[in-house]
Amino acid sequence: MTNLILFGPPGSGKGTQASKLVEKYGLLHISTGDLFRYEMGNDTELGQLAKSYIAKGELVPDEVTIGMLKNKVNANPDVSGYIFDGFPRTIAQAEALDAFLVEKEDDITALIALDVDDEEIVGRLLNRGKTSGRADDNDESIIRNRIEVYNNETSPVFDFYNKVDKAFKIEGVGGIEEIYGRLTQTIDGLL
């Protein structure tokens, strides 16, 4: 199996690139942000819980997020691999993901990080907020909180996979096709 983690700060283009990558490599795209938005859209219990964190730009608690992720993977066993987008976002999530894959005699192939600086991120998210309908993209203080959470809690996940030589960083500023080219070059070098 090919199991990729597409990594990077909010607004770094993970979702855009993941949709293109799944077509090329035939993988299943799992975005925890999309899963939460689906639950919120249906106003489920999980959705209501997630909303109370997402609205503030905080992370949804690990147990909840990990449980939801496992359900999604277990519901889709017949695939040639996964692209995880927005997960893992904490070291605890990374450890849980690794342990979960070990149970399946599988592992993470690579984590690929899209490198985009903070000011570019703020601009992109405010811009996305004009059309995305996402409340968390509309308020600059919430956006800055998401970036802070990323820098404090999520960026250590890069080092976690770097220690086992599975982390790669690519320049995330440029045209969509240009960045896609950098990603596929990196991925093709691993397969």
Site string for ligand ADP, 150-179 (x = CB under 6 A): ------------------------------
Look up tokens 């599975």; give the residue. Answer: 166
The Cα 132–Cα 54 span in angstroms is 15
Contacts of 88 (CB under 8 A, 6+ apart): 5, 94, 96, 97, 157
Please identify which residue in 6, 27, 60, 116 interacts with ligand ADP, judged by CB under 6 A.
60
Nearest residue relative to ligand ADP (C-beta): 33
115 strand-pairing partners? 171
Helix spans in 60-139 (H): 62-74, 91-103, 118-132
- Binders of ligand ADP among residues 78 to 117 (CB under 6 A) are 86-87, 89, 93
- Are residues 93 and 66 in contact, defined by beta-carbon separation less than 8 angstroms? yes
Given the rule CB under 6 A, which of 17-25, 56-64, 71-79, 172-180 is the region that contacts ligand ADP?
56-64
Q: Is 144 a catalytic residue?
A: no
State yes or no: residue 65 binds ligand ADP (CB under 6 A).
Answer: yes
The Cα 129–Cα 151 span in angstroms is 21
Q: Is 128 a catalytic residue?
A: yes
Q: Which is nearer to ligand ADP, 9 or 27 (CB)?
A: 9
Question: What minimum distance in Å lies between the beta carbon of 31 and ligand ADP?
Answer: 6
State yes or no: residue 32 binds ligand ADP (CB under 6 A).
Answer: yes
State yes or no: residue 54 binds ligand ADP (CB under 6 A).
Answer: yes
Residue 42: both structure tokens together: 């249906």
Of 37, 124, 146, 182, which one is the catalytic site residue? 146
Q: Is 37 a catalytic residue?
A: no
Residue 18: both structure tokens together: 């993941």
Positions marked catalytic: 14, 89, 128, 134, 146
